[in-house]
C-alpha cells in the first residue's frame, strides 16, 4: 500500500522541486535584469532550448529517466518560462507605443 502511495507522490514531489528551482531562478533574473520584454524573450528561449534538448535526447534512445523529465521538463521549465508574462509585456509595450503615437 505504501509503495502505491509513494509511486503517486514521487512525480508530484519532483515536479514541485523543479518548479521551486525554476521560479526562484526566474525571480533572480527579474531582480537583476528588471522586468523587460527582452529579458522575458531570453528566458523563454533558454527554457524552450532546455525542453527541446530533453525531448530530442529522449527521442534518440538516450536513457533519460522519467524522474529527470518530471524534474526538469515539467517542473523547472514550466515555472522558469512564462509565456503569459511574454503576452502581457508585449501588450504593455504595444499600448505604450500606441500612446506615444497618439501623443505625437
Residues in the chain: 104
User: Where exactly are the structural domains of the chain?
Assistant: 2-103
Query: For residue 82, what are the contacts with CB-CB under 8 A and spacing of at least 6?
Result: 26, 40, 43, 44
Task: Name the pTM for this structure.
Answer: 0.69
Q: CA-CA distance, 69 to 76, in Å (whole number)?
A: 10
Average pLDDT, the chain: 77
Distance of alpha carbon 75 from alpha carbon 40, whole angstroms: 18
* Model confidence pLDDT, tens digit, residues 44-53: 888 889 988 8
φ/ψ of 62, rounded to 5, equals -75, 135
Q: What is the pLDDT of residues 61-81, one digit of tens each?
A: 677 788 888 888 888 988 888
Does residue 82 or residue 87 have the better pLDDT?
Answer: 82
Q: What is the pLDDT of residue 101?
A: 47
Amino acid at each position: 500500500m505504501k509503495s502505491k502511495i509513494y509511486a503517486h507522490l514521487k512525480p508530484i514531489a519532483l515536479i514541485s522541486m523543479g518548479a521551486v528551482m525554476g521560479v526562484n531562478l526566474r525571480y533572480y533574473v527579474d531582480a537583476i535584469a528588471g522586468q523587460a520584454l527582452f529579458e522575458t524573450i531570453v528566458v523563454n528561449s533558454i527554457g524552450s532550448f532546455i525542453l527541446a534538448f530533453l525531448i530530442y535526447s529522449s527521442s534518440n534512445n538516450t536513457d533519460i529517466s522519467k524522474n529527470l523529465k518530471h524534474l526538469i521538463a515539467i517542473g523547472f521549465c514550466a515555472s522558469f518560462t512564462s509565456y503569459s508574462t511574454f503576452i502581457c509585456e508585449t501588450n504593455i509595450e504595444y499600448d505604450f507605443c500606441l500612446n506615444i503615437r497618439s501623443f505625437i
